Amino acid sequence: MAVASPDELFHQAIFAFDDAALEAWITRRTDEGASEGLVLDVAQAWLALMRDASPEDGEGAGDLFARAASSRSPSRVIEVTVLRAMLALAAGQLSDAAAFARRASLMARTEALPAAELLANITLARLRRRSGKSYLALRIAEAIGRSEAARAAPGWLAWERFLAGGNEAGEPSADPSAPAAWAVRAGQRLLVAARAGARDDFEREARELERSTAGFLDMQREALALCALLDPARTAEGALDGFKRGQHDELWQGLASVRVLHGDSEPSASILAVARPGERGSRLLRDGLGLFGPCRTIFEEGARVHGRTDTALAVLALSGTEPLAEEEFFQRVYGFAYASGKHRGVLDVLLHRVRHRVGASGSLLRAGGGLRLELHEAIAVADPRCSPPAAARVLSALSRQPAATAESIAVRLGITPRAAQMALRELVSDGACEMRRSGRQVRYQVLDSTFSEPTGTDVFG
C-alpha cells in the first residue's frame, strides 16, 4: 500500500473535517524541521479557517498568496487561492469566490496536480451550491467522483454531494472513521428520522452531525442550519431565522435541494410553508413534515399550475394571526407595488383562488384593507418563491430525455417554450449541456464529460 506524501496528508485532514489531524500534521512537520516555512504558514491559515470561519482574514491570505507566488510552488499557490475562495465565500463575495475557485482549478489542471485539483474543484462545487445552483454543484461533484484522486479522500466531496441533493450512497471512503464520513452518514439518517417523525432518532443524529462537523466550523454552520430547516420547533439564528419566518427568500446555505428520495420526477416543492390554527407559520424542508405532524398538504408533485395562488397562500400562512395590509400582501406575492386602480381586479381574482385552494382548511378574512388566514386545521403548502429554478428541472428532464428540443422539454415540464429556451441557454452557458443542430431543429443533451466551467473564458474575470 502506497504511503501518503506530506502534501496528501495535509489535504486529507482538510477533506476529513479533521482539524486535530491537521494540527498534529503541523506539529510533526515543525518537529521535523520543515525546510519551507511557507508550507507551515499555509497549513496554519487553513487550520484557522477550519476553526474560525470568519471572513476577516482576506488581507492576510492576500499576503500569503504573494509569498506563495514568489516561491514558484504550484501546490502552495493553489492551496492559498482555494483558501481565498473559501474566505470570500464566507464573506458573501460570490464573484470574488468564483474567480479564485476557477483560477485554482485551472492552475491545478494545467500543473497536473490531482490532489490540488480535487481541493479546487470541490470548492467550485461548494460555490455553485451556495450560489443557489445545487443542480450544477451536483453535476460537478459527480464528475469529480469519477476521478481516481477522489478515492483517496472523498469526505468533503461526499458532504457537498449530500447537500446538493445527491444523497444516495456515494463513493467508498478511504477512512470511514473520519469526521466527514460520520457527518454524511449522520446527515442521511437525520433526513430519514425527520421524514418518519422519529423525534428521538432525529435529536440523536442532530447531536452526531454537530459533533462530526466541529472540526470545520463552516460545515458545522451548515449542519445546524439543516437541522433548523427540518425541525419546525428548532430555533434558527440570524438570516436563517428570517428565512424560516418568511421575512426574505434568500437561503444562503444552498440547502433547498437536500432530500431523502429522488424518484423519477423533476425537482419540486422542496421548501414548504407550514402553519397550525392560531399560530404563525414557518418554512420547512419537505422531509421535515414528519416532525411537524399531521396536516393537510396543499401541493402536487411537479405541478406549477397553482404557482401564484400557492405563493399567496404561503404568504398568508407565514403572516400568522395579525392582518396583513393588502398592499404589502400584493408586494410579497407579485414583487412590485400595488396600485388600487390598476390591480384591484387582479387582487380580487387571486383572493378568490386562494379561498378555493384552501377549501375547508381555513377562511380568508378581508376587512379594513387587511387580510388574514384563519386556519381550521394544520396545513403545508408549497412556497414557489423557494422552488428549484427552471434550469434545475430542465437539466433533470434532459437526463431522462436525451437529445431533446426546447419544445419537447416544455411539454414534459408544463412550461412555455420560451421558459425552456431561456433555461437551456443558461445550462449551455454553464457548461452543463450542449446544443446540436439537426437540420432545422436544435436539440440539447447533457454533457457527460467532466464539467467545463474551470476552463471557461472568464477564469480570471
CATH number for 433:
1.10.10.10
pLDDT band per the 50, 70, 90 thresholds, residue 175 = low
Query: Could you list the residue range(s) of the whole structural domain that residue 437 is in?
Result: 390-455
What average pLDDT does the structure give for the chain? 84
Last residue in a domain, options 142, 174, 206: 174
Higher pLDDT, 174 or 76: 76
Q: Is position 10 within any domain?
A: yes
Last residue in a domain, options 386, 401, 421: 386
Q: Is position 278 within any domain?
A: yes
Give yes or no: residues 414 and 444 share one domain. Answer: yes
Query: Number of structural domains, the chain?
Result: 3
Give yes or no: residues 369 and 425 share one domain. Answer: no
Q: What is the pLDDT of residues 74-89, one digit of tens each?
A: 888 999 999 999 999 8
Give yes or no: residues 371 and 411 share one domain. Answer: no
Give yes or no: residues 157 and 85 share one domain. Answer: yes
pLDDT at 300: 66
Give yes or no: residues 428 and 294 share one domain. Answer: no
Last residue in a domain, options 109, 140, 174: 174
Residues found in the chain:
461
Give yes or no: residues 119 and 32 share one domain. Answer: yes
List own/partner pairs for 193-199 with CB under 8 A and 24 or more apart. 193/290, 194/230, 194/231, 194/285, 194/287, 194/288, 194/290, 194/291, 195/260, 195/287, 195/288, 195/289, 195/290, 196/290, 197/290, 197/291, 197/293, 198/290, 199/291
Give yes or no: residues 165 and 83 share one domain. Answer: yes
The whole-number average pLDDT for the span 150-174 is 73
Do 424 and 433 form a contact (C-beta atoms < 8 A)?
yes
Give yes or no: residues 315 and 279 share one domain. Answer: yes
For residue 77, what are the contacts with CB-CB under 8 A and spacing of at least 6? 65, 68, 69, 71, 107
CATH number for 88:
1.25.40
Give yes or no: residues 364 and 417 share one domain. Answer: no
SS3 call for 146: coil
CATH number for 328:
1.10.10
Q: What is the pLDDT of residues 294-336, one digit of tens each?
A: 999 997 655 554 688 999 999 999 998 899 999 999 999 999 9
d(CA 14, CA 31): 21
Q: Does pLDDT of 452 surpass 50?
A: no
pLDDT at 460: 28
Higher pLDDT, 424 or 350: 350
